[in-house]
A = this chain, B = another copy of it.
């Protein structure tokens, strides 16, 4: 078994991945100001964050470039403009969605790119296609991870097969992704143990990407860490789709490694996140997300409910269970 936590010491193998731009971009259509992105980069470096994910490597033939902020596409030059040659200890990550990335065209040699790790996001039914992407990224020189989304809707058998296939692939790590925010800690522990079993067998790290629908993103993340999961996603102020993610500030407050610093993140919240909220960008735990999480549903109905500023929770719930 991997070394697990004991609340006083720390585990050097833990890696914190800031996914604020990537999952947060799903909230504001990736329309972050350049100042916000630069500040976040410097904040993450100062906070000792291990990876900063800039966004998606989306295919512009599928998504019109003028309809999204630039972090939907993560062009190398846009990242270089923020990080220069990134002479820091922090690595750069980027997400590539299976089926929505022209990776042969858009993901070139690592030598010409600021990106260190590509995270391939896939539904469990598309693992073979995801593995082709992983093989490509691996050949191009990148670290890779595979984020199997919406795993709360997959069967145990499917998960076993997927983990075995990924185990035999060149991927470096595999993520537990609770897309619907529907897992309880006692469930995620069992899942973490399963992923870790395959991780040990095949020499892959395991990661956790949690959503806060039932106010359990932080709890589920630290439960996974306690089992031996090493890579943990977090976002500043929990910014992310729907109910958002595990808050970076909570995670840094929990981890005992003295190289993590909370103060820079608090300053960033004050300076950048509060204005964002004041501008009307809305995310975070609320009753409608609790309901979709509880019912193990995609949050889209709750996101729509939020966008319409509805508050008729009872009606919403009745509709959900009627479907």
Binding site for B on A (CB under 8 A): 5, 7, 184-187, 212, 214-220, 222-223, 226, 247, 249-250, 253-254, 262-263, 266-267, 269-270, 274, 285, 287, 290-291, 294, 311-314, 317-318
Contact = CB atoms under 8 A, between A and B. Distances in A.
Contacts of A212: 215
Contact of A184 (B7, B214, B216, B287): B7
Given A7-B186, A215-B219, A223-B185, A266 B287 contact: yes
B314 A287 contact: no
B317 A263 contact: yes
B215 A317 contact: no
Contacts of A186: 5, 7, 222, 226
Contacts of A218: 214-216, 219
A206 B250 CA distance: 29
Number of copies: 2
A290 B313 CA distance: 28
A222 B215 CA distance: 12
A13 to B, nearest CB: 19
A7 B294 CA distance: 13
Given A184-B254, A216-B218, 20 more contacts: A5-B186, A185-B219, A185-B223, A186-B222, A214-B218, A214-B253, A215-B219, A216-B219, A219-B219, A219-B220, A247-B290, A250-B290, A253-B291, A254-B294, A263-B314, A266-B287, A266-B314, A269-B313, A270-B311, A270-B314
Nearest to A288: B266
Contacts of A220: 219
A290 B216 CA distance: 15
A315 to B, nearest CB: 9
Q: Give the one of A212, A220, A226, A285 with max B CB within 10 A.
A: A285
Given A253-B294, A270-B312, A287-B249, A222 B263 contact: no
Contact of A214 (B7, B250, B270): B250
A33 to B, nearest CB: 19
The 6 residue pairs across chains A and B that have the minimum distance between CB atoms: A219-B219, A266-B313, A266-B314, A253-B294, A267-B314, A215-B218
A318 B291 CA distance: 38
Nearest to A317: B266
B219 A250 contact: no
Contacts of A287: 249, 266, 269
A238 B5 CA distance: 30
